[in-house]
Amino acid sequence: MERDDIIEYSLDNHHNEEQGKKIRKKIYFVTALLSVVTIVEVAMGIIWGKAHIDVDGAGWLTIKSIFIILTMLKAAYIVMTFMHLGDERKSLRNIILIPYLIFIAYLIFILLVESTFIFDLKQALGWI
C-alpha cells in the first residue's frame, strides 16, 4: 500500500554542481556577514559597555544608536534570507516589513522618551 501523505523531497533535488556552488557561496556569505556584524556588536559592548571611558551624552547616544541599527539590519537580513522573504515580490516585502519597522521605531521612541522622563522625575524628587 502506497501512502499519499508523504512528500518525497529528494525527488526535487535536481540541481547541478554549478547551482550547488552558488548555493554554498551564498551560505558562506550569509555566515560571514552575520558573524562580522555580531563581532562588531560584541566588540562595541566590550569596549564601551564595562570600560570606564569618558563618553558624553551625545557620544553615548551615538553608540546606542549604532548598536540598534546594526541589530535591526541583522534581523532584517535574517528575515530576508532564512525566511525567503527576499525571493518575494517587492510589494509583498513592503507589506510585511514596513509595519514592523514602524512598530520598532515607535518602541525605540517610547524607550528613549520614557527613560528620560523617569530620570527627570527622579531628579526632581531628589532621588538621584
pTM, whole model, 2 decimals? 0.62
Which residue has cell 520598532?
104
Question: Which DSSP state fits 83?
Answer: T
pLDDT in tens, 91-117: 988 898 899 889 988 988 888 777 777
pLDDT in tens, 8-35: 656 666 677 888 888 889 889 989 999 9
Where are the chain's structural domains? 10-87, 89-128
Q: Compute the 3-state secondary structure of the chain and give helix, strand, coil in percent, each to the nearest 5.
A: 80, 0, 20
DSSP secondary structure string, 115-128?
HHHHHHHHHHHT--
Q: How many CA atoms lie within 13 A of 43 on its CB side?
A: 8
pLDDT in tens, 22-77: 888 988 998 999 999 999 999 888 887 666 566 666 777 788 888 888 988 898 88
User: What is the dihedral angle through the alpha carbons of 24, 25, 29, 31, rounded to the nearest 10 degrees?
Assistant: 20
